[in-house]
Amino acid sequence: MLLKPMCSAVIALMGSSFLLSQAVAQDSALLEDTRKQVLPLLPKVVGTMQQAIKDAGVVDAIPVCKEKAPAMLQDVRKQTGWDIRRVSLKTRNAKTGTPDTWEARQLADFNIRAAAGARPDQLEVYEIVTEADNKRFFRYMKALPVGEVCLVCHGAQENLPADLKQALGKMYPDDRAIDYQPGEVRGALTVKRPL
């Protein structure tokens, strides 16, 4: 008598674990594909920044973070149709860099994990989310750590060169992206792919 319900429970269990393993396989395929498209950008931006500071000096390197980095993201955006941006909890340009709720939560979590000793260059997160209108998205974020070169423009206020401080002050009167320490999380690269 008991056998039948037990059997169907076992079958249901097997079925759900099959669905689960399919979902995990789909997630990891999306993750791999997303990483492959966007991660090569990170060393490219850092390299371009180092070269620009060396060749032109800090003030003339501003356009690398202001125009070149967003343009590189824009190229991948055009190729893939995904929404790709840079966000931060302490923005220099609030218009382009303000995170949405999901992103703000992940950035706060990155900060907690970095403060607890995690390597900031290894912090990433992904999730499939369903929004109010039943649209599904694969969301991905990768932390952008504060490296030596970033401190030139995002480091301690008192260490910023005077001409740079003046230029940044003019362009970004509401600049909050200073006083970072090496090894902190400056922000993140964020990707939102429609499914």
| Residues 115 to 144 in contact with ligand HEC, rule: CB under 6 A | 144
- Taking the C-alpha atoms of residue 55 and residue 116, their distance in angstroms, rounded to an integer, is 37
Q: Are 144 and 186 in contact (CB under 8 A)?
A: yes
Q: Which stretch binds ligand HEC (CB under 6 A): 13-21, 92-100, 106-114, 118-126?
A: 92-100
Amino acid at 149: V
Span interacting with ligand HEC, options 5-13, 62-70, 110-118, 132-140, rule CB under 6 A:
62-70
CB closer to ligand HEC, 46 vs 84: 46
Give dist(CA 43, CA 58) in Å, integer: 19
Q: Quote the least distance from Cβ 156 to ligand HEC, whole Å.
A: 14
- Is 160 an interacting residue with respect to ligand HEC (CB under 6 A)? no
Cβ-Cβ contacts under 8 Å for 108 (sequence gap 6 or more): 89
Measured CA to CA, the distance from residue 177 to residue 14 in angstroms comes to 51
| CA-derived radius of gyration, the chain | 21
Name the residue nearer to ligand HEC (CB basis): 84 or 153.
Answer: 153
> In this chain, which of 83, 109, 147, 165 binds ligand HEC, going by CB under 6 A?
147
Under the binding rule (CB under 6 A), the answer on residue 191 touching ligand HEC is no
Q: Does 159 bind ligand HEC (CB under 6 A)?
A: no
Q: Which of 30, 93, 102, 118 binds ligand HEC (CB under 6 A)?
A: 93
**Alpha helices (runs of H) in the chain, residue ranges in sequence order:** 3-38, 41-56, 58-63, 69-80, 94-97, 101-115, 148-154, 162-171
Phi and psi (nearest 5°) for 39? Answer: -65, -35
Does residue 178 interact with ligand HEC by CB under 6 A? no
Give me the 69-88 binding string for ligand HEC, x by CB under 6 A, dash otherwise.
Answer: -----------------x-x
Taking the least distance from each CB to ligand HEC, the nearer of 142 and 186 is 186
- Which of 49, 72, 89, 107 is the binder for ligand HEC (CB under 6 A)? 49
CA distance 126 to 33: 12
